[in-house]
């Protein structure tokens, strides 16, 4: 990682620095994105996945925080392409745009505070194991309610909850945490949306259950419906459904499609990657690696 977009231009990475008084650092007033770029060794091509969709979510969520920046959606996409061309990566990459309250001032009000955006990109392989099922646990930490802090935005401050949940899960010997809503319904993973399969019907929590409105979630629902011709139902999911369902998988930019083999010591299905998850995973990885012409529109060439 040699460069970052910072202060309105691409600069050497070491120059992308903020003051300790920065509003976002003190109060968690940043909104970030996570975007993947996939390198196809056969074609020697790096492609960014859902570039525009991620920046669109970032800009639309920024309204909640009274944020305003000079860069437009198109410019943010172009800057990311330019940054990646300069970095010249020939491996999979994770791109992190961070829009934040940049004023150095004590006081929490969001008004009269300046905003800035930085973008950087670092190499990244699998975030969770995608080759075999992972072991997860229901966390003792709950998902934040939308009225306590925006759950549908990737707000830096509200990631304290997922950070506590993930840490607890790892320290207790699991790969990932699943969090419940305050009402006790299954919400999502610490950094992934969740799907379960029961009798060949796929269920996922709806947007009013305090989930992050995942970019991958939307694409996965389309693949399940259009390619696998399955019914996808968005409805609240009970905790005990996790223990009796046929398949569970987690989706996200980082997680991609990750199968769950075990929840709280209960084996899911027969403990290996289930048939629907396996088919979906193949479809997803073919599309993101640029091996399915039908889904070229998901990708931006670098
Ligand atoms: C809490 C949370 N839920 C879900 C997701 C999946 O969202 P997306 O598919 O947009 O990456 C993420 C990852 O970014 C996340 O952090």
pLDDT in tens, 257-298: 999 999 999 999 999 999 999 999 999 999 999 999 999 999
What percent of the chain has pLDDT above 90?
Answer: 95
Q: Ligand 1 pocket test: pick from 34, 164, 181 the residue with the most ligand atoms within 8 Å of its Cβ.
A: 34
Q: Ligand 1 pocket test: pick from 164, 253, 287 the residue with the most ligand atoms within 8 Å of its Cβ.
A: 253
Give residue 209's pLDDT.
97
Phi-psi region of 185 (alpha: psi -120 to 50; beta: other; left: phi over 0): beta
pLDDT band at 125 (very low <50, low <70, confident <90, very high): confident
252 lines ligand 1 (CB under 6 A): yes
182: how many CB neighbours lie within 10 A of its CB? 12
53 lines ligand 1 (CB under 6 A): no
Measured from the CA of 57, which atom of ligand 1 is nearest? Answer: 10
Q: Does the pLDDT of residue 186 top 90, yes or no?
A: yes
68: how many CB neighbours lie within 10 A of its CB? 11
Cα 184 from Cα 117, distance rounded (Å): 36
Please give the model's pTM, rounded to 2 decimal places.
0.96
C-alpha 170: how far from its chain's center? Answer: 19
Q: Atom 7 of ligand 1 has which residue's CA nearest to it? A: 214
4 lines ligand 1 (CB under 6 A): no
C-alpha 163: how far from its chain's center? Answer: 14
Q: Does the pLDDT of residue 116 top 90, yes or no?
A: yes
Tokens of 266: 């209960």
Q: 8-31: per-residue pLDDT in tens?
A: 999 999 999 999 999 999 999 999
Ligand 1 center from residue 102 Cα (angstroms): 24
Residues taking part in catalysis: 154
Mean pLDDT across 27-48 = 96
Give residue 23's pLDDT.
98
Mean pLDDT across 59-74 = 96
33 lines ligand 1 (CB under 6 A): no
Q: Does the pLDDT of residue 105 top 90, yes or no?
A: no
Cα torsion through 135, 236, 224, 197, rounded to 10: 50
217 lines ligand 1 (CB under 6 A): yes
């Amino acid at each position: 990682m040699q460069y970052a977009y910072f202060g309105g231009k691409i600069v050497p990475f070491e120059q992308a620095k903020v003051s300790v008084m920065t509003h976002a650092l003190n109060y968690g007033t940043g909104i970030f994105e996570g975007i993947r770029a996939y390198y196809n060794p056969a074609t020697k091509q790096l492609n960014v996945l859902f570039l525009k969709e991620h920046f669109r979510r970032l800009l639309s969520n920024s309204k909640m925080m009274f944020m305003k920046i000079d860069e437009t959606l198109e410019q943010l996409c172009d800057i990311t392409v330019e940054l990646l061309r300069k970095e010249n990566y020939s491996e999979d990459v994770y791109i992190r745009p961070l829009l934040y309250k940049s004023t150095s001032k004590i006081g929490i009000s969001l008004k009269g505070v300046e905003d800035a955006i930085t973008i950087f990109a670092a190499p990244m392989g699998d975030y969770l194991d995608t080759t075999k099922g992972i072991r997860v646990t229901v966390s003792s930490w709950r998902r934040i309610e939308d009225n306590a802090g925006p759950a549908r935005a990737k707000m830096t401050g509200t990631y304290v909850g997922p950070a506590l949940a993930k840490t607890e899960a790892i320290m207790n010997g699991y790969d990932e945490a699943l969090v419940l809503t305050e009402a006790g319904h299954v919400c999502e993973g610490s950094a992934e949306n969740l799907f379960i399969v029961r009798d060949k019907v796929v269920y996922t929590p709806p947007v009013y259950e305090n989930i992050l409105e995942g970019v991958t979630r939307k694409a996965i629902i389309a693949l399940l419906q259009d390619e696998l011709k399955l019914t996808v139902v968005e409805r609240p999911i009970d905790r005990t459904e996790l223990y009796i369902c046929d398949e569970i998988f987690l989706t996200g930019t980082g997680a991609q499609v990750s199968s769950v083999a075990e929840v709280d010591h209960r084996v899911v299905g027969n403990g290996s990657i289930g048939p629907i998850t396996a088919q979906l995973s193949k479809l997803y990885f073919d599309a993101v690696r640029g091996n399915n012409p039908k889904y070229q529109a998901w990708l931006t060439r670098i």
